[in-house]
Amino acid sequence: MSTPSPTPPPRLPLDCDPGHDDAIAIVVAARHTDLLGITTVAGNAPLERTTRNAIIIRDLLGIDVPVHTGAARPLVAEPKHADYVHGESGMDGADLPEPSGPPASTDAVGFIIDTCRAEEGVWLVPTGPLTNIALALRAAPDLADRIAGISLMGGGTFGNRTATAEFNIWADPEAAAAVFEYGGPLVMCGLQLTHTFQATPERIQRVRDIPGRLAGVLADLFEFFSGTYVSRHDNLRGAPVHDPCAVLALTHPQLFETYEAHVAVETRGRHTRGMTVIDQRRLLERPTSNCTVVDRIDADAGFAVIDEAIAHFSR
């Protein structure tokens, strides 16, 4: 049995760039949130591939949730992808079905705005570059006061794409800077957290032992994802399963330790563009916190939630 999620569940669109770990984030969101839609952005792979992958995962789950496709490129930066981690397709490693059809629209930003204007208290959960979210906040500044907050995967106390910058922030630093300055509640699941949440061989085997097609596909995806990470690092036994943390931080907050801090996004530094600068000085007079930094997870309990969610949809 996994830990129960809060009631009522958070209502949210998930904004993602699948991506192996984005796929797991979709599964957890489908199980433990009121998932209002899936929006896609270019990131791990070009937009048409991340959109295709999102539709395939949605189809495998058998859920009635629209997929809207969004920004094909960052606000300012040159488009760069992460095939060295996720493969050319963005989700290499499994025998995937064809998507059931096209996305519901090509206006993810409009969908996010309409969804947040339709009711108060919607969460935004981005697990890719922050382009769609920044464009929505720019076009509809009223969203800042209407949403419950933004829970994102990105940043942290060290980098992966560069020594200082995590991929999602590095891929569109100008969008990230706008999001970190938007003024409402912000939850950041960065690399110092997600690198302790690894898809080890034992955890992948537990997914493989779950009956049904979805579990088999996800076990294959986990294996590819872990393979690329383990082959490129000397301190990992499996891929950090980054993206579900941004969902779990809302649905299972009891699994995490957090602290409040002011976080800025560096957009100019030669060595630091895309870095999240976390002010950890314990000054009595310090900048007001704009961010809940999610710092630690009970990894076994987190994977139990993932396993249960996969088993729920796998048939």
Catalytic residue list: 242
User: Is residue 242 at the binding interface for ligand BDR, with CB under 6 A as the rule?
Assistant: yes
Nearer to ligand BDR, 19 or 87 (CB): 19
Token duo for residue 144: 């800042």
- C-alpha 232: how far from its chain's center? 22
Residue 167 site contact among Ca ion, ligand BDR, none (CB < 5 to 8 Å, cut-off depends on kind): ligand BDR
Token duo for residue 309: 């969610």
Nearer to Ca ion, 189 or 309 (CB): 189
Residue pair 265/278 in contact (Cβ under 8 Å)? The answer is no
User: Is residue 22 at the binding interface for Ca ion, with CB under 5 A as the rule?
Assistant: yes
Q: How far is the CB of 246 from ligand BDR (least distance, A)?
A: 9
Q: Is the peptide bond before 19 cis (omega within 30 degrees of 0)?
A: yes
User: Is residue 303 at the binding interface for ligand BDR, with CB under 6 A as the rule?
Assistant: no
Give residue 99's identity as a one-letter amino acid code: P
User: Is residue 160 at the binding interface for ligand BDR, with CB under 6 A as the rule?
Assistant: yes
Residue 251 site contact among ligand BDR, Ca ion, none (CB < 5 to 8 Å, cut-off depends on kind): none
* Alpha helices, H only, 90-237: 108-118, 131-139, 143-146, 167-171, 173-180, 191-194, 201-208, 213-232
Provide the mask over 213-252, with x wherever binding to Ca ion is found by CB under 5 A and - wherever it is not: ------------------------------x---------
Residue pair 33/9 in contact (Cβ under 8 Å)? The answer is yes
Q: How far is CA 180 from CA 50, 105, 134, 153, 205, in A?
A: 24, 27, 10, 12, 38
Q: How far is the CB of 238 from Ca ion (least distance, A)?
A: 17
Among 10, 19, 90, 156, binds Ca ion (CB under 5 A): 19
Positions that interact with ligand BDR (CB under 6 A): 19, 21-22, 44, 82, 85, 127-128, 153, 160, 166-168, 242-243
